[in-house]
Amino acid sequence: MTHRRLILSAAAGLALAACASSSGGKYTDRNMDFGAIKSVAVMPFANLSRDNLAGDRVRDVFANALLATEALYVVPTGEVARAAGRIGIPNLTAPTNEEVTKLGQQLKAEAIITGVVKEYGEVRSGSASGNVVSMSAQMQETATGKVVWSASTTKGGVSFGDRLLGGGGVPLNYVTEDAVNDLLNKLFK
C-alpha cells in the first residue's frame, strides 16, 4: 500500500508541476502579412510587479532574444527613446495609435511592440520558494496603429519538487528567458 501511495503522490506532483508553468493565450490578426515586417521597435514594458526594474530587465531580454532570431531588425532602445522624445509621447508603455504611427515613421519601423510585466520575482508556498515571471506583449502595425498580435505567458513558480524537498527553484534569469522564449514562439508560430 505504501508503494501505491508513493506512485500516486508522484503522479499528483507531476500534475502540479505542469500547472506551475502555463503559457497563456494568443491573438493573431489573420489578415496581417507578417512577412512585410522587417523592422520593429520594442517600447519600455509597463511594470506591475514589486520589483522596480522588472520592466527594463524583461524588455532587454525580450529585445535581445528577438534580435537573436535574426528574423527582424530590432531598433536600438536609444533610438526608440530619442524618437519618442521628439514626438513627445507621454506614456511610453502605452502609446496611442496616432503615436505608434508617428513613431513608425520616425524609426522606419513597420511594427511597435509593447509589453506588461505582471509578476516578477520570488513567490513562496509554505517553506519553499521559486521565481515566477508573468507577462504579456502586443505588436501594433505602424501603418494604422492596429494590434496585429498579442500573447501572454507565465513561467516558473514553486514546483512539487520544491515543496517536497524545500528547494529554491530556478534562477530568475532562466525563468525570464523561458517566458520570453514562450512569447517569441507564439509570435513566430
pLDDT of the residue at 183: 96
pLDDT tens, residue by residue, 57-87: 999 999 999 999 999 999 999 999 999 999 9
Domains of the chain by range and CATH?
2-188 (3.40.50.10610)
Note the pLDDT of residue 9.
Answer: 39
Q: Per the structure block, which three cell numbers stand in for 36?
A: 512585410
84-94 pLDDT, tens digit each:
999 999 999 99
For 52-64, the DSSP string reads TTHHHHHHHHHHH
pTM above 0.85, yes or no: no
Q: Give pLDDT, residue 131.
A: 87
Percent of residues in the chain assigned helix, strand, coil, to nearest 5: 45, 25, 30
Phi, psi angles (nearest 5°) of residue 72: -140, 155
What pLDDT score was predicted for residue 94?
95
Per-residue pLDDT at 176: 94
* Residue 15: its H or E element: helix 2-19
Residue ranges in the chain modelled with pLDDT below 70: 1-24, 159-169
CA separation, residue 52 to residues 7, 42, 58, 62, 134 (Å): 43, 19, 12, 17, 15
